[in-house]
Amino acid sequence: MHRISSCQEIFDKDAHMDRMTSLRVFREVVEAGSFVAAAGRLGMSPPMASKHVAQLEKSLGARLLHRSSRHLSLTEAGTAWYEQSRRALDLLDEAEAAIGQTSDTPRGQLKVSAPVWCATPRFARVLADYREKYPEVLVDMHLENRKVDLAADGYDLALRATQEPSPALIARPLCRVPFFLAGTPAYLERMGGVPAVPADLAKLGAIVPSYVNLDNLALKGPGGRMFPLRLVPAMRSDDTTLTLHAVRADMGIAYMPTWLIDDDIAQGRLLRLLPDFEATPVTLFAVYTSRQYMAPKLRTFIDFLGERLGPPAASQGKPRGTLNAS
């Protein structure tokens, strides 16, 4: 197996802006998935991007990419080098910005994980407005309902809806997101009418998430009495969008965030169930790894989300897990 030079060895060699550019091109090719896409982002030609990666491979003495006419993939050496070089470039960018050698203008790719239910017109408008304000930042948005490993999966940021974020990460509260039970008028009529109390939910089928357990949830009724939320599964789904479509198709009811169903409720396509019984809202957190210095692209994105999505409840306080969070 080829020996891969360390990042320090590469930076200590003579030459160079070209090598630094090659490092950045390689990172962009991996993240964009092709030389053409990477070249477009970097403002260079695809042959020049390919030349930079070939130059990097030559200096390392190892092949970093498997190339075919349709697909690029990392070699074992390429995987190891990508993780090292990405961290090194991030640290270098942060160090340069911290001492004022570069502009504080946010730029570069920002890899973000968010719940599937963020695929709404409201959230898309926030992203569009951020892009208009910070055109040099390319947001790479991944919608998934699993908890990603930020470091291992190469994410800069994760948006997580939870009542208790991991203490190992920095978690800045952005806003509260209420969840409601909802179903179509046609389905509810077919099943005997709208439920009046939580116990009536046992008569209805529900599309329940496979990625989280709802068994411990409770509804707060009039007078403060708590009622356990008991749903009878009609289907399990790991995709919130599919859940919404299944509810619209009269398959059952579901427990969904207001972001996803506000418009359906306003238009009468869905009915909110048990409006006098409330579940504790979850908080949407911006979760990131602990750093002494936050890159401008990350700091501005989190600040922008906080401003546009609404202030968190006063009890949520400051970011958790560090004295350096901002």
Q: How far apart are CA 136 and CA 178, in angstroms?
A: 33
Using 50, 70 and 90 to split pLDDT, how confident is the model at 293?
low
Q: Which residue, of 58, 78, 98, is where some domain finishes?
A: 98
Beta bridge partners of 254: 182
The reply to whether 324 falls in a domain is: no
Q: Which residue, of 98, 118, 153, is where some domain finishes?
A: 98
Q: How far apart are CA 102 and CA 124, in angstroms?
A: 30
Examine the pLDDT at 301 and tell me if it is beyond 70: yes
Question: Beta strands 232-237 and 205-209: pairing type?
Answer: parallel
Are 74 and 67 in contact by the 8 Å Cβ rule? The answer is: no
Comparing 249 with 312, which gets the higher pLDDT?
249
Examine the pLDDT at 126 and tell me if it is beyond 80: yes
User: Cα 174 to the chain's mean position, in Å?
Assistant: 13
If asked whether residues 287 and 173 sit together in one domain, one would say yes
If asked whether residues 54 and 185 sit together in one domain, one would say no
If asked whether residues 248 and 291 sit together in one domain, one would say no
The reply to whether 44 falls in a domain is: yes
The reply to whether 289 falls in a domain is: yes
Segment 290-295 shows an average pLDDT of 66
For residue range 136-184, what is the model confidence (pLDDT) as tens digits? 999 999 999 988 888 778 889 999 998 777 777 889 999 999 999 999 9
Question: Average pLDDT of the chain?
Answer: 84
Comparing 108 with 202, which gets the higher pLDDT?
202
The reply to whether 103 falls in a domain is: no
Looking at residue 265, its pLDDT comes to 97
CA distances from 295 to 171, 207, 241, 274 (A): 16, 40, 32, 45
If asked whether residues 39 and 113 sit together in one domain, one would say no
Place of tokens 């970011």: 319
The reply to whether 326 falls in a domain is: no
Q: How far apart are CA 232 and CA 41, in angstroms?
A: 49
Segment 292-303 shows an average pLDDT of 85
Question: Beta strands 157-162 and 108-114: pairing type?
Answer: parallel
- Provide the residue range defining the domain that includes 60: 7-98
If asked whether residues 171 and 239 sit together in one domain, one would say no
Using 50, 70 and 90 to split pLDDT, how confident is the model at 11?
very low
What is the number of domains present in the chain?
A: 3
If asked whether residues 44 and 158 sit together in one domain, one would say no
If asked whether residues 268 and 291 sit together in one domain, one would say no
Question: Beta strands 137-143 and 108-114: pairing type?
Answer: parallel
If asked whether residues 210 and 288 sit together in one domain, one would say no
Q: How far apart are CA 236 and CA 234, in angstroms?
A: 7
- Enter the tokens of residue 140: 């790479």
If asked whether residues 173 and 196 sit together in one domain, one would say no
Looking at residue 290, its pLDDT comes to 63
Looking at residue 221, its pLDDT comes to 94
For residue range 239-280, what is the model confidence (pLDDT) as tens digits? 999 999 999 999 999 999 999 999 999 999 999 999 999 988
The reply to whether 192 falls in a domain is: yes
Q: How far apart are CA 220 and CA 216, in angstroms?
A: 13
Q: What is the CATH number of the domain that holds 54?
A: 1.10.10.10
Using 50, 70 and 90 to split pLDDT, how confident is the model at 235?
very high
The reply to whether 252 falls in a domain is: yes
Examine the pLDDT at 194 and tell me if it is beyond 50: yes
Q: What is the CATH number of the domain that holds 242?
A: 3.40.190.10
If asked whether residues 121 and 78 sit together in one domain, one would say no
If asked whether residues 171 and 289 sit together in one domain, one would say yes
The reply to whether 300 falls in a domain is: yes
Examine the pLDDT at 103 and tell me if it is beyond 70: no
Looking at residue 97, its pLDDT comes to 61
Segment 217-241 shows an average pLDDT of 94
Comparing 216 with 1, which gets the higher pLDDT?
216
Examine the pLDDT at 193 and tell me if it is beyond 80: yes
Greatest Cα pair distance, the chain, in angstroms, is 78
Q: Which residue, of 98, 116, 136, is where some domain finishes?
A: 98
Comparing 315 with 85, which gets the higher pLDDT?
85
Using 50, 70 and 90 to split pLDDT, how confident is the model at 291?
low
If asked whether residues 287 and 168 sit together in one domain, one would say yes
